[in-house]
Homo-oligomer: A and B are copies of this chain.
Amino acid sequence: MSSTLLVVGSVAYDTIETHTAKREEILGGAATFIALSASHLCAANVVAVVGEDDFPQTHIDLLTRRGINLDGLERAPGRTFRWAGRYADDFSSRTTLDTQLGVFETFDPKIPEAYRANRYLMLGNIHPALQLKVLDGFGDDTFVAADTMNLWIDTTRELVDALLKRVDLLIINDEEALMLTGERQILPAANKIRAMGPPAVIIKRGEHGAYLFTESVCFFAPALPLAEVVDPTGAGDSFAGGLLGYLAAQDSTGIEVMKTGMLYGAAAASIKVGLFGADEFAAVNREEIDRRVGQLRELVRLGG
């Protein structure tokens, strides 16, 4: 009995430079990649904001064709959030070249009444005050996953701490996990984060896979080795979308469902890394995702 995933986060235009290519103002944003990734597995609702003037119907169509419900997509006076960045030649780091918050600066997420029944909620990386506000509209029967970033850990730590007390699953990068806890290794970092609130923590390590830590389990989902990296932007959000989409599809957060969900996340992330932007990502089909989930299973399969 498939459930519905509610995604709250950013929709953005990304300008991306790599050592081989540059793409200008392509469709991106955490909510976009989360919802697209989840849309292969479950129904997805989106709460986000875009600019009134610069968000064409073609983008709306792109998302709705994937079955994504955009009743929660607000169109506000002004321009859509823009981000520009350049990746190091080996993709080990990236530099932000420009950020124009636009309508995202005053984003005040409003949850359509019909969305309030959603029992799977993914809070993309937005200001923790907004994440907390969204949570006020949902009860304990909602499974809440959240992402955050170094900026909020640095500048609004108390809000991040308050958020952690209210989420079921934190999905975070390794560097952010170490920063959040002052630890040097992800194992003690995960333990500390779990002591701050979330019963489950996923620590993402980019091309090196992702670890799930719960009270009873430490599980590792590898990343697929790829022939080429094109653009890692949105890979972490695609991972979260695949995972949460699978949980909603199974309507379960049991540990084996979580594990398999991480493979769906890793499959989606591996696809995203191989292409540019949400437009290309939206063209992926379910068969390709399933094929990569099968490869991931083989990658760690042990006989006996």
CB of A90 within 8 A of CB of B299, answer no
Q: How far is the CA of A141 from the CA of B247 in the complex (A)?
A: 51
Measured CB to CB, the closest approach of chain B to A192, in angstroms, equals 12
Given contacts A260-B302, A302-B260, A303-B259, whether A186 and B225 have CB atoms under 8 Å apart is yes
Residues of B within 8 A of A208 (CB): 205, 208-209
CB of A185 within 8 A of CB of B229, answer yes
Residues of B within 8 A of A186 (CB): 225
Q: Please provide the chain A residues from 153 to 208 with a CB less than 8 Å away from any CB of chain B in the complex.
A: 184-188, 190, 205, 208
Measured CB to CB, the closest approach of chain B to A127, in angstroms, equals 29
CB of A187 within 8 A of CB of B225, answer yes
A220 within 8 A of B: yes
Residues on A lying within 8 angstroms of B by beta carbon are: 90, 184-188, 190, 205, 208-209, 211, 217-220, 222, 225-229, 256, 259-260, 263, 295, 297-304
Can you name 22 A-B residue pairings with CB atoms under 8 Å? A184-B229, A185-B226, A185-B227, A185-B228, A185-B229, A186-B225, A187-B226, A187-B227, A188-B228, A208-B209, A209-B209, A217-B298, A218-B298, A218-B299, A219-B299, A220-B222, A220-B300, A256-B302, A256-B303, A259-B302, A260-B304, A300-B302
